[in-house]
Chain A
């Protein structure tokens, strides 16, 4: 401790000199930013050496020392030549693993005029305490508002407070052309490559299948990752109404109205849409066995789909919804709900070990009991969210690695490396290698801790893992080359977290997609023109069983006849001739002469420039003899 204080003093002096220099040469409004920049620079210039550790990456484990400078890993190997005065940490043969990446958090999330109790400072502090050195938060714009503004807002909040590096997902809560443009510029200019869409929350966030199709198509083109919140919102709405009618108003109504098959159904549908649009799919919050099964089946069929179970679904189950204690039951409310099947956590851990599920998040979104109590008389009003950012790594270690389901390399893959690959941050994050960010932890496999709200770093009053004993914990956490956890002491700097931009087309998801794109070119069958008779039919009848020419409001209203293969030009010469209507088809056959597709109202159509009129006034297409 004394050593560190000394450092701070030393470097502070150097810093001040720099700062005065800057003040003299730059405009005042730059100073704040510059100040911050230098501040970071200063802390990154830490030099650290980890000696005698066993480096565990997702592909291999080996013994080597690690030398870090300026927040980057500079050297790995034995007998490193390092400058003098380097702080050395003795790992004593313990595992050194890449810092965890929590790919799903909701810090400081606004909710009905209030915010979640963990803001970016509190949340990222909890993350660091649990060995997670990067978080990816969800930007949730209100439906109808600008994605860009929401993004800026989140950036501002996080830049001010986050203690570890972060990145952002942006949720698409409504869909139109301006959203489309915003998504495009978010990908191009703002470093966002993943967007969440909702299949639940009817009349609010929920998007229709057609909109999903459009979004998937669009993101596949732009190289984004589609994340889905997969639950069938329409059926949920019906079930909720039914539950409330039956007089079930407590938190058990939450799980009763959102049974796991609705989750599985939506996952199935999302997989189908993704497969149709040839777009990589990422299912957030896999909470039930059936949903996980659908994902692993789809992967077996070759679909590019990733599943993300969260700390809660990996560590606890939904039996608590029936707790007699309302506050406890409400604390577990999240969507999709925890499965009441107590074998679910084990099952999900197994699928993580086998690789069928790819990444783990926490969906950390904490509300105080008083906030949860908004829904004390109606479970649909309970704000949804559970804690988990701090417990994530230890819980997986305890449930999967110590039980022998998973090896340490797979542990690294699902807590860190895979997430980095999906976000296109690999190998900067998620790997201990020369040139990577110096985000790493020394993992202590022997420490045993009991989870309790009294000692956790979150601001929530209740911890859903309360009383759980977990083996495995971070001993030392190094974030941006700086020790943030050592000897059980957490030293974080609010605002030290940087935004890490993600670039589109991550190879992990898009390599296969690109290859398929080239393969899957559809071709029409070259045929001669059909020149047989055509029945009379009337378009004015409402009920064509085939998909009508009516289009969804977001697209051009009517297929333009001039663009389609509906060729009228060949018959223009015949326009002047009298039209025989109602000629018998059999006659035509025996006559065996040219029959032509002919539109009685050709003149009207050609006179009319507005294509949308065509389908409406398109009254009679008759075949005739020439």
Chain B
């Protein structure tokens, strides 16, 4: 009901949700009847791997593959041309059929190696414009063993190298999708896109690494959940991956597990929830403790920022009004509720002096709150997602239930159609830093669990495949953002925040060979028929998108070329991440040093003290000393011996017998000696 306020002074146009005739949004595309899985969406969903991976073998390194690398090798650009090559003798000159090539990007296989395990595949990307987040330059990129070995012009490369002609196109670091949910169980059902399907879609969109959310059930062990996820991903993923772990509740066990995860398992980011009352939601006190604890561990706190209490009340109200369809979802989660939680999370972060990362920034007000906080110096990062960047919440009012339900995600898409543009502007200006997809695809029948109650609709939209394309289409192609910033928001910033840089997120010597040749001229119409995801419906259905990957290299291998995927499941490696990423923690460390607070040294107050009844009829209005069970605060009754209530030290008035307290009816002379105020 209160949503009206946003537009209440625009008399001419009523908000879509109480306009009389209900439209289904401005860019309604197609209707496929009452049950609208897109026609043909189920066709060619099975991948015939024999067709693609001819003669290819996995070059998967063991999971432990945490190759120790120096993170501070400096900018390697300058010294690449003269680099020495260790020639390998194990190659033969057997020619190999050139793959189908697209216009603009030609792949010439001059020689094919015979090495059966294919690990030392060598590749040269010639004539491309290398675009990093800081600058663009023309240069060749030479790749060996899944690593970038040389960058520059006139590279000296060994013979027998497969050459990819980039023809002046952009060569960018592969995208990093910081937010996917490929195994998020909902009421016992799994999303239709698992690690295989999801990473396939990612690669097809130019994303060469995903960071998935481990979502343990409340009460489940975080470690077990993590292992479950890792096992599944190791088997299925076809691009590198890492994992965030969500913290469903807060207690001592969880703390111990967090420590193990950070120190031994290579996890440096954890999500906490301010929404989902009675399930995942934490109180402010718990959040404060969690923030403090994670800061000590050097982990980044991800926050799902929505006020769960208010949402719960609103949901009940909306259901009580008889609104049970998907439109109830945005109505019960208005954007101020998101902005409020963002504000609170940032306040907590400031108090604890801890970096805060807001996942899924879906509304203007939430984004503005982040931008303002950054202006005040808070260390806060914002992550809009594909859905929020490319479409809006007007679809919740679609007459087609299945379509409306497909958009259900939390926080919801804003019904304000100017939101995507605003978010892109903030991305371009650096107020928002990274783009995720929050890809969590449920089939229509899964969504239909909530057909009579919107609160039961499983939440999640697609977007992993469309992510890079839409940022290009809506920001770069529109002139809002330059190509370097494009690289920053789709890849580099994510690598920095999560301590993967410069292994990921940069084209430089010794970085992983996760590279995309980007074609800004590809025009594609998004449709569920042609997507990699297994979902029947694509929320971007019918949208045109300029820009897309022409060729994708993952771990130094060509995995996508000319619209065809050549992947092998299980090749994705788990990339462990170290705590204390500089990008987030450097400022924090300095602030810690500065902000040590000092008490005032005063003489002991020796004036009269009013007697307080030992069992007070009225309790003090100050916060009680009661502690929450999990906290490490002082015990309920503050022990006077622990506090600096110093009775033991020699005092100037030791010779004067001390009385425990004076009952003062009228202070002698009106004021005591210490109150003679100057």
Contact = CB atoms under 8 A, between A and B. Distances in A.
A430 interface: no
Given A208-B309, A232-B344, A301-B5, A369 B607 contact: yes
B185 interface: yes
Interface stretch (B65-73, B560-568, B651-659, B669-677): B669-677
Given A522-B18, A537-B187, A547-B455, A250 B35 contact: no
Contacts of A546: 276, 450, 455-459
Nearest to A367: B610
Majority DSSP secondary structure for residues of A touching B? loop
A204 B185 contact: no
Contact of B1 (A111, A278, A383): A278
Contact of A524 (B322, B453, B627, B672): B322
Interface in A208-264: 208-210, 213-214, 217, 232-241, 243-250, 252-253, 256, 259, 261-262, 264
A370 B609 contact: yes
Given A521-B1, A541-B217, A461 B675 contact: yes
Interface stretch (B150-158, B165-173, B334-342): B334-342
* Contact residues on B (Cβ < 8 Å of other chain), bracket: 35 or more
A41 B99 CA distance: 105
A551 interface: yes
Question: By CB atoms of chain B within 10 A, which of A329, A533, A547 has the most?
Answer: A547
Interface stretch (B79-87, B137-145, B478-486, B616-624): B616-624
Interface string B440-453: 00011110111111
A24 interface: no
A113 interface: yes
B448 A516 contact: no
Nearest to A454: B670
B52 interface: no
A101 to B, nearest CB: 25
A249 B347 contact: no
A566 B451 CA distance: 9
Given A112-B612, A276-B336, A565-B453, A373 B605 contact: yes
B401 A326 contact: no
Contacts of B336: 272, 275-276
Contacts of B398: 525
A421 interface: no
A325 interface: yes
A400 B450 CA distance: 58
B375 interface: no
A205 interface: yes
Contacts of A209: 307, 309-310
A181 interface: no
B626 interface: yes
Nearest to B325: A525
A22 interface: no
Given A232-B284, A252-B599, A241 B634 contact: yes
A248 B315 contact: no
Given A238-B288, A370-B664, A530-B451, A543 B218 contact: yes
Interface residues of A, number: 127
Given A110-B618, A302-B9, A466-B677, A326 B602 contact: yes
A237 B670 contact: no
B307 A384 contact: no
6 contacts: A234-B284, A238-B289, A466-B677, A517-B1, A528-B401, A551-B316
Interface of B: 1-5, 8-9, 17-18, 22, 34-35, 37, 42, 184-189, 215, 217-220, 248, 276-280, 283-285, 288-289, 307-316, 318-319, 321-325, 327-328, 331, 334, 336-337, 339-340, 343-344, 347-348, 350-351, 397-402, 404, 443-446, 448-453, 455-459, 597-600, 602-603, 605, 607-610, 612-613, 616-627, 631, 633-634, 638, 640, 643-645, 662, 664, 667, 670-672, 674-675, 677
List of 10 A-B pairs having minimum Cβ-Cβ separation, nearest first:
A209-B309, A234-B284, A537-B187, A520-B1, A543-B217, A532-B35, A248-B599, A272-B340, A533-B445, A370-B664
Given A276-B313, A370-B672, A547-B279, 15 more contacts: A203-B624, A206-B623, A232-B284, A234-B285, A235-B288, A276-B334, A276-B336, A371-B610, A374-B610, A376-B605, A381-B620, A461-B671, A526-B22, A545-B279, A565-B324
